[in-house]
């Protein structure tokens, strides 16, 4: 099992002003009484084992008592909370979430009544804190992913390759994929767990194992569970029915269903079975990249680069969609100048192509982009044919738009390519979910910058707007020497080598617009 702490990759930044933090400390005295009342009500509605009831309440009161400490060190409080929840005899995950819900409800209720002007910032901080705790619980108590994907042995069995990406606790004996669309099942693939090496190995297609699968599908053997993941396609597992093995099976079934769906998008050319295997490998490649991603920035980079390459395109640009203001903001690019993409900030209604994709919610092919994109973009990026695809959250809400082309040359993709793009982005969308609303959400791949002064913020924004040193000095009515000093300071704080990199980091860290 991996020993990495669940919050080592989270970067908590102070979201509350000193005044709001003071108000939260003040009202925290009334929160425990509110939480106790709510917990008593929940116990009446959902009777639990008395021992579990006490442990859930202990988790809730730990968060309540640690509220002042969380304002100073969220990482420490959340790490201790996850440790308490996942001790030697861990509670079920839904019980831990019950403690989190009770905590958040109580703090929110008292904040709304007594928080005054600070209520909004406190509620925003509270929600991010609770979601970060939930993410830590899922990461710690769910199915841990191996941190050494590059060391996975290239087994001939696709099932073994997938299993090697998981840190297996060793309570399962074998896992098999089988079809059962006739009188007898057909074993497609099987993997055996070797306790000595703590690795999965390919299982020979033995009659004994096939017989166990057959009887397991009929329910004749205790300890063998089967899950249908497609029409006539089953995952069979032999081993004790524990919470951890159950989580692992659910994850494998989810991956298998997505891979099957990906294959359904493809019609084999010339009847070659290797074409479906290619689709299967493509889905595994995007999963590998997503599993290795640690931050929101990493996931978006996978979206911009891997989806582009796996779909057969040569360059891409990713834009974030702001639903309230209905703006499109450049975020990332692949084989396109990053600074040019970051400068793009347009109302979605002004770009008919984006508006169409946001409305339809699926990839769109455009043979000639000139009639539907501003002329300035056509000339600057040498645009002709394009594929434009929405990036969706798990609730089917559009959070971004991905543009891809073949280096400015005209092209005409078939339906297979568009369906592949849609399938790949569906995988990205599922991975984005836990990152989108966490308090750690940041587009920055590096550590947070030292605090910029108000003047440094102003100058960084003016640099992003395209002003040179002399123009900045005139705008702010200060000397060019002073401007240069401020630029040197903000470059040092951001860890940037030049102005272009400073602007890119400023956009990613949401320091500028």
| Segment (H or E) for 405 | strand 398-405
Among residues 404, 398, 318, 313, which one has the least CA distance to residue 358?
398
pLDDT for 403: 93
Find the angle CA(501)-CA(507)-CA(511) to the nearest 5 degrees: 110
CA distance 342 to 443: 12
pLDDT for 387: 93
pLDDT for 11: 45
pLDDT for 277: 55
pLDDT for 316: 92
Cβ neighbours of residue 298 under 8 Å, at least 6 residues apart?
292, 445
CA distance 59 to 147: 29
pLDDT for 431: 83
Q: pTM of this prediction?
A: 0.39
DSSP string, 169-232: -S---EEEEEE-SSSS-EEEEEEEEETTTTEEEEPP--HHHHHHHHHHHTT-STTEEEEEEETT
Per-residue confidence of the chain (513 residues) as pLDDT tens digits? Answer: 333 444 544 444 445 778 888 888 888 878 888 888 878 877 776 667 777 888 888 888 888 888 888 888 888 888 888 888 877 667 788 788 888 888 888 888 888 888 788 888 888 888 888 888 888 887 776 655 444 444 444 455 677 777 776 655 557 788 888 776 556 667 777 888 887 877 777 776 556 777 777 777 666 677 788 787 776 777 888 888 777 777 777 777 777 777 666 555 444 444 444 455 556 667 777 877 787 777 777 788 888 888 888 888 889 999 888 777 778 888 888 888 888 888 888 887 777 777 777 777 788 898 998 888 888 888 888 999 999 998 887 666 788 889 999 888 888 887 778 888 888 888 888 888 776 654 444 444 444 445 688 788 888 888 877 788 888 888 888 888 888 888 888 888 887 878 877 887 777 676 775
Among residues 124, 460, 504, 455, which one has the least CA distance to residue 329?
504
Find the angle CA(51)-CA(52)-CA(58) to the nearest 5 degrees: 95
Residues in the chain, how many? 513
Among residues 323, 277, 275, 331, which one has the least CA distance to residue 305?
331
């Amino acid at each position: 099992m991996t020993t990495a702490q669940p919050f080592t990759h989270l970067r908590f930044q102070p979201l509350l002003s000193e005044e709001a933090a003071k108000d939260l400390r003040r009202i925290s005295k009334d929160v425990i009484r509110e939480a106790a009342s709510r917990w008593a009500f929940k116990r009446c509605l959902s009777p639990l084992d008395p021992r579990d009831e006490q442990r859930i309440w202990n988790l809730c009161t730990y968060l309540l008592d640690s509220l002042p400490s969380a304002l100073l060190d969220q990482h420490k409080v959340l790490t201790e909370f996850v440790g308490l929840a996942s001790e030697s005899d861990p509670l079920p995950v839904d019980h831990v979430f019950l403690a989190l819900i009770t905590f958040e409800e109580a703090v929110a209720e008292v904040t709304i009544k007594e928080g005054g002007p600070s209520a909004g910032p406190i509620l925003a901080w509270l929600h991010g804190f609770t979601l970060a705790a939930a993410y830590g619980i899922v990461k710690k108590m769910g199915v841990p992913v191996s941190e050494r994907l590059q060391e996975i042995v290239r087994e001939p069995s696709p099932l073994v390759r997938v299993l090697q990406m998981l840190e297996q606790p060793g309570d399962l004996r074998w896992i098999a994929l089988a079809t059962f669309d006739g009188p007898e099942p057909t074993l497609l693939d099987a993997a055996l767990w070797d306790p000595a090496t703590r690795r999965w190995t390919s299982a020979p297609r033995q009659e004994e194992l096939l017989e166990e699968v057959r009887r397991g599908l009929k329910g004749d053997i205790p300890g063998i569970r089967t899950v249908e993941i497609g029409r006539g396609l089953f995952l069979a597992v032999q081993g004790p029915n524990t919470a951890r093995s159950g989580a692992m099976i659910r994850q494998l079934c989810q991956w298998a269903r997505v891979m099957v769906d990906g294959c359904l998008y493809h019609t084999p050319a010339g009847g070659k079975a290797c074409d479906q295997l290619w689709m299967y490998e493509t889905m595994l490649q995007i999963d590998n990249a997503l599993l290795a991603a640690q931050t929101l920035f990493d996931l978006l980079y996978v979206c911009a680069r891997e989806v582009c390459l796996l779909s057969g395109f040569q360059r891409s640009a990713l834009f974030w969609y702001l639903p309230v203001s209905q703006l499109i903001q450049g975020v990332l690019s692949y084989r396109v100048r990053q600074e040019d993409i970051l400068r793009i900030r347009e109302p979605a209604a002004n770009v008919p192509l984006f508006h169409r994709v946001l409305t339809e919610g699926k990839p769109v092919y455009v043979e000639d982009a000139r009639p539907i994109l501003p002329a300035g973009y056509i000339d600057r990026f040498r645009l002709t044919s394009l594929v434009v695809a929405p990036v969706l959250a798990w609730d089917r809400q559009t959070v971004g738009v991905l543009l891809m082309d073949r280096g400015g040359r005209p092209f005409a993709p078939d339906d297979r390519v568009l369906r592949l793009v849609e399938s790949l982005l569906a995988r990205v969308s599922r991975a984005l979910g836990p990152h989108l609303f966490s308090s750690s959400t940041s587009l920055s791949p590096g550590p947070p910058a030292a605090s910029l002064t108000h003047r440094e913020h102003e100058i960084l924004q003016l640099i992003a707007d395209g002003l040179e040193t002399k123009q900045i000095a005139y705008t702010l009515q200060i000397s060019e020497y002073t401007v240069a000093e401020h630029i040197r300071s903000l470059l040092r704080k951001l860890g940037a080598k030049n102005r272009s990199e400073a602007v890119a980091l400023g956009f990613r860290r949401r320091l500028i617009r």
